[in-house]
A = this chain, B = another copy of it.
Amino acid sequence: GLWVLNNTSAMSSHVLNHSHQHLSSLPESDLVVQLSTSLKTKPDVVDFGTVFTDHMLTVEWNANDGWQTPLIRPFGDLSLHPACSALHYAVELFEGLKVYRGDDKRLRLFRPLLNMERMSKSAERACLPAFDQSELLGCIKRLIEIDQDWVPHLGPACLYIRPTFIGTEPSLGVKKPNRALLYVIMCQAGSYFNTELSLWADPKYTRAWKGGTGDCKMGGNYGGTLFAQLEAGSYGCQQVLWLYGEDHQITEGGTMNIFLHWINEDGDEELATPPLDGTILPGVTRQSILDLARKWHSGFLNSLLERYLTMGQLCSALKQQRLKEMFGSGTACRVCHIGSIVYEEKNLQLPNQDKHSLSSRIATELTDIQVSR
């Protein structure tokens, strides 16, 4: 078979047979494919998310007729009503996943059902319609197959897949949309960060809050972050480290979850990341790291915790040389060592990464799963 999906919680892999797939509610329909007549040249190395493949998947929905026939068609502009609810009220969400070409030439999607599941939760929160997760995944696999020449032949390079779901109600009332468009585009992933990360932490900006949408991948979580991102840049930092509350809780960095590998206040070695309390994006890579670490648990980690972490605790650990490593995780950035944090007029230098670092070990293991298993 062409496919390996890393789907199970243990992250072993299994091959799925392909079959024609459609979204639910229109069982008679089947995916329609319109192939492009002029294929693009594939550039060698490009920035993340700037060069797209030859085809895209689109599926329309409306409240009267439900889901329409899924369509794979040549990549091109969308035609949208100017009152479209995504453009005015950010009724929109997305996902991000990657497809790798394994050493055995087969295509590998890393735990794609976790993305489908999160996408369903985002859709519910955004008041966009439900969809059949496995049928959407089937459509995405068809799209990848058609553009499979775009999946790099040299690992760990890969192709980035962006499912997107927008409200297309053509009226200005602030309400649940009666029309929607689900579409999937794919682009060269490039390298997201080349070096270790520098972060900027200032409590004056907040990414998400209790009672909001910080645990969903909705567009509105991102538009408000650009301003802080620019300010981070003015301090020479690559990303924002988002804090929360009076005690400056560490929540997320830019587009990634955050992990601390340290000797905690009680003297135990611990891998810690903030808990999913509604303000944290439940990252697939975050979950996979927790799953891996649980497997390794008895080996070298005394303690594995989803717990609150404050800047005060980080600073104390740094001062007392209890911090081993801080790193971020995300589909785009994978596992990123964090080298420094600008916080309260200080530039905190964090411990260096080496091949024995936990982040190195995790990155190696993830690559192994993504490309070889």
Contact = CB atoms under 8 A, between A and B. Distances in A.
Contacts of A91: 222-223, 226
B88 A90 contact: no
A83 B162 contact: yes
A87 B47 contact: no
B227 A125 contact: yes
Contact of A176 (B170, B171, B226): B226
Interface stretch (A60-68, A140-148, A209-217): A209-217
A203 interface: yes
Interface string A23-52: 000000000000000000000000111101
A310 B185 CA distance: 47
A198 to B, nearest CB: 16
A126 interface: yes
Interface stretch (A72-80, A294-302, A316-324): A72-80
Given A79-B79, A230-B127, A211 B206 contact: yes
A334 to B, nearest CB: 16
Chain A interface size range: 35 or more
A124 B84 CA distance: 23
A90 B222 contact: yes
Contacts of A213: 223-224
A88 B209 contact: no
Contact of A206 (B86, B175, B210): B210
Contacts of A127: 226-227, 230
Contact of A90 (B76, B92, B203): B92
Contact of A86 (B87, B124, B209): B87
A187 interface: yes
The oligomer's copy count stands at 2
B49 A172 contact: yes
B172 A82 contact: no
Contacts of A303: none
Looking at A52, A206, A220, A255, the one whose CB has the most chain B CB atoms below 10 A away is A220
A196 B298 CA distance: 64
Contacts of A81: 77-78
Contact of A219 (B89, B204, B210, B212): B89
A131 interface: no
Interface in A172-206: 172-176, 183, 185, 187, 203-206
A209 to B, nearest CB: 4
A229 interface: yes
Contact of A83 (B88, B187, B218): B187
A166 interface: yes
Given A80-B77, A83-B52, A183-B82, A174 B90 contact: no
A225 interface: yes
| Pairs of residues from A and B, 9 with the lowest C-beta to C-beta distance, nearest first | A220-B220, A49-B172, A206-B211, A90-B219, A90-B223, A89-B222, A90-B90, A127-B226, A209-B209
25 contacts: A47-B171, A47-B173, A48-B172, A49-B173, A78-B82, A79-B79, A82-B183, A86-B86, A87-B87, A87-B164, A87-B219, A88-B222, A89-B226, A90-B92, A90-B224, A91-B223, A92-B223, A127-B226, A205-B211, A206-B210, A206-B211, A209-B212, A212-B224, A213-B223, A219-B219
Interface of A: 47-50, 52, 56, 75-84, 86-92, 94, 124-127, 160, 162, 164, 166, 170-176, 183, 185, 187, 203-206, 209-213, 218-227, 229-230, 254-255
